[in-house]
Structure 1
Amino acid sequence: MQDAAVRELREETGLIASGPPRLLSVHSNHRFFPNDHVLVFAVDAFAVGARTSHGEISNAEWFAPDALPEGVTAATQRRLDEIFTGAPSDPLW
């Protein structure tokens, strides 16, 4: 899981983890795919490199948690609330 998180981080954002990612939470996501799970990791230190994949994510941008762009999904907002405000973790995505 950690290797996949580091690889995807580099491919999709160009960020190169300087240490192992920390698993924050695991969520069931059965709405679109049966038996799908989403894992949320934190990366505390990283270097900036070039994206190596441009297939899944069209843009990667930074936003303050209280200044997110329109259209953020409810699930994404819940994860951010769990991380930044201490909201209880929901096992469902």
Structure 2
Amino acid sequence: MNFRIGAEPVIRPFIQRWWRMRRGMTLGVRGIVENPDGNILLVRHTYVAGWHFPGGGVERGETIYDALRKELREEAGIDPAGHPELVGVYSNEAKFRGDHVAVFRVRDWSHCEMTAHHEIAETGWFHPGALPDGIVGGARRRIAELYEGETITGVW
């Protein structure tokens, strides 16, 4: 196991306290990027376990669209065209009090240079019915809602 992944459960409470001092509420973005074959893009980070949708935090002065575009370019080498479809905004209260995640569906995009090589251990395209082991709960629930007709919960 990677040291950064192993240390994450110990370090996370300190990082979250620091963020809480800076902000009363936090907002993140995630992109469900689809290719023409119907596969979706997932990433594995170097600092936390599991497969995730690419994404990250929304900074002060940034729109959710700007944040999504920035994160997809950095983490996946994906440049979304136009405004991606907002799937929903989900509460991540169980993991981090006051946190929310805006999820977008990205169907129209082009390749660009990936700039966050140090953050990303691996990327992969997967069919929604054949997901890799280790996909995180929030991503798994969104896939079930979008592709399997599960009820939308509003909880990340």
TM-score by length of 2: 0.55
Higher strand share: 2
Partner of 1:4: 67
What residue ranges of structure 2 are gaps of 5+ in the alignment?
1-63
Partner of 1:78: 141
Q: Specify the code of the residue in structure 2 equivalent to 1:45.
A: D
Give aligned-pair identity as a percent: 40
Q: Which residue number in structure 1 is paired with residue 154 of structure 2?
A: 91
Number of residue equivalences: 93
SS of alignment partner, residue 90 of structure 2? strand
Alignment of 1:12-51 (within 5 A): 12-51=75-114
Shift of 1:86: 2.4
Bigger Rg over Cα: 2
> Secondary structure at 1:58's aligned position in 2?
strand
> Contact conserved, 1:19 with 1:44, CA < 8 A, in 2?
no
Secondary structure of the 1:88 match is: coil
The Cα RMSD (Å) is 1.4
TM-score (norm 1): 0.89
* Aligned-partner Cα distance in 2 for 1:54–1:35: 29
- The amino acid that maps onto 1:76 is A
Cα contact 1:18–1:46 (8 A) shared by 2: yes
Deviation, 1:57, is: 2.9
Q: List 4+ stretches of structure 1 deviating above 6 A.
A: none
| Cα deviation code 1:30-87 (max 9, x no counterpart) | 2222101111101121111220112433211101111111111232211101111222
Q: CA deviation at 1:9?
A: 0.8
